[in-house]
């Protein structure tokens, strides 16, 4: 059902059984997939693709122009997958030509009230951003990440899969996968493995044991990073989770949070 007070650009493509509530605004070149609902007084900006079965609550803003002074109205996109929940006052901005040209959101994510995803961010699947969690531009958030309330992430940071940042954490360096970061003296501080999350998602005891060994070598043995990685490669074999942790650390461009 589309309410008669909704303002929809004629170039927008709206699938069947989409609900658009009173006073919603749908911009040009917008596509909205089946089963999606758009709440009252919400805004869907130009060049936005929204998949199926998303819930966009009242007063949310998806796909507006980026908060980048270099942006001059170029065609850039916001691409949203399926089964996402975007709560009231949450904001997800489109990409820029100086970035990757698009902001990408996967599937099954929850963006709580007042959370913010800036231009050129890439969000995976099953991510939770709690109230007022904020991503600067060009941030990558991998699958199954949880960001607590008031978390602030610096531009170009990557947060690894299954990681968690506690409420109020300031993040300026990459957070490796599987780990928990909490507020430190100025910047984030690592606090160990995200054990509850890993167990809930069915990680084997063997994998968790190996990740514990890797964590101790990397962050508790007072070793240089290269030496810690060398030790882990010798002591732990045939563990995809540890392999991914080490690969993430090796490719990090900003450097990793160590605490």
Domain membership of residue 1 (yes or no) is no
The catalytic position among 27, 33, 68, 120 is 120
Same domain, 134 and 236: no
**pLDDT at site 185:** 84
Active site residue 27: no
Active site residue 137: yes
Residues 52-56, mean pLDDT to the nearest whole number: 98
The catalytic position among 27, 51, 106, 119 is 119
Domain region containing 74: 7-141
Domain membership of residue 222 (yes or no) is yes
In the β-sheet with 31-32, what is the strand arrangement from edge to edge? 13-14, 31-32, 48-50, 77-80, 102-105, 122-123, 140-141, 158-159
Read off the pLDDT of residues 206-219 as tens digits, 9 standing for 90 and up.
Answer: 999 999 999 999 99
| Total length of the chain | 259
Same domain, 17 and 116: yes
Domain membership of residue 70 (yes or no) is yes
The catalytic position among 137, 148, 160, 166 is 137
| Dihedral sign of CA atoms 203, 207, 210, 211 in order | negative
Percent of the chain with pLDDT over 70: 100
Look up the CATH number of the domain holding residue 108: 2.160.10.10
Domain count for the chain: 2
CB atoms within 10 A of CB 170: 16
Same domain, 42 and 112: yes
Domain membership of residue 164 (yes or no) is no
Domain membership of residue 47 (yes or no) is yes
Domain membership of residue 173 (yes or no) is no
**Cα(60)–Cα(41) distance, integer angstroms:** 8
User: Band of the pLDDT at 174, cuts 50, 70, 90?
Assistant: very high
Active site residue 120: yes
**Cα(249)–Cα(94) distance, integer angstroms:** 28
**pLDDT at site 186:** 81
Same domain, 101 and 221: no
Look up the CATH number of the domain holding residue 241: 1.20.1180.10
Predicted structure pTM score: 0.97
Read off the pLDDT of residues 222-232 as tens digits, 9 standing for 90 and up.
Answer: 999 999 999 99
**pLDDT at site 258:** 81
């Amino acid at each position: 059902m589309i309410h008669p007070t909704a303002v929809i650009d004629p170039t927008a493509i709206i699938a069947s059984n989409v609900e658009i509530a009173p006073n919603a605004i749908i911009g040009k070149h917008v596509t909205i997939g089946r089963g999606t609902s758009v709440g009252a007084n919400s805004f869907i900006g130009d060049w936005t693709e929204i998949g199926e079965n998303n819930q966009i609550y009242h007063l949310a803003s998806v796909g507006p122009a980026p908060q980048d002074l270099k942006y001059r109205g170029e065609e850039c996109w916001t691409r949203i997958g399926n089964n996402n929940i975007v709560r009231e006052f949450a904001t997800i901005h489109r990409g820029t030509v100086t970035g990757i040209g698009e902001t990408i959101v996967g599937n099954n994510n929850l963006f709580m009230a007042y959370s913010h995803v800036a231009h050129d961010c890439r969000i995976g699947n099953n991510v939770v951003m709690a109230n007022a969690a904020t991503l600067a531009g060009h941030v990558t958030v991998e699958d199954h990440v949880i960001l607590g309330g008031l978390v602030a992430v610096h531009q170009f940071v990557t947060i690894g899969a299954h990681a968690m940042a506690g409420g109020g954490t300031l993040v300026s360096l990459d957070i490796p996968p599987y780990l928990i970061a909490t507020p430190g003296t100025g910047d984030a501080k690592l606090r160990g493995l995200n054990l509850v999350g890993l167990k809930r998602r069915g990680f084997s005891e063997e994998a968790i044991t190996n990740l514990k060994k890797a964590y101790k070598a990397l962050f508790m043995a007072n070793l240089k990073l290269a030496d810690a990685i060398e030790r882990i490669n010798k002591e732990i074999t045939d563990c995809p989770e540890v392999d991914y942790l080490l690969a993430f650390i090796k490719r990090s461009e900003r450097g990793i949070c160590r605490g």
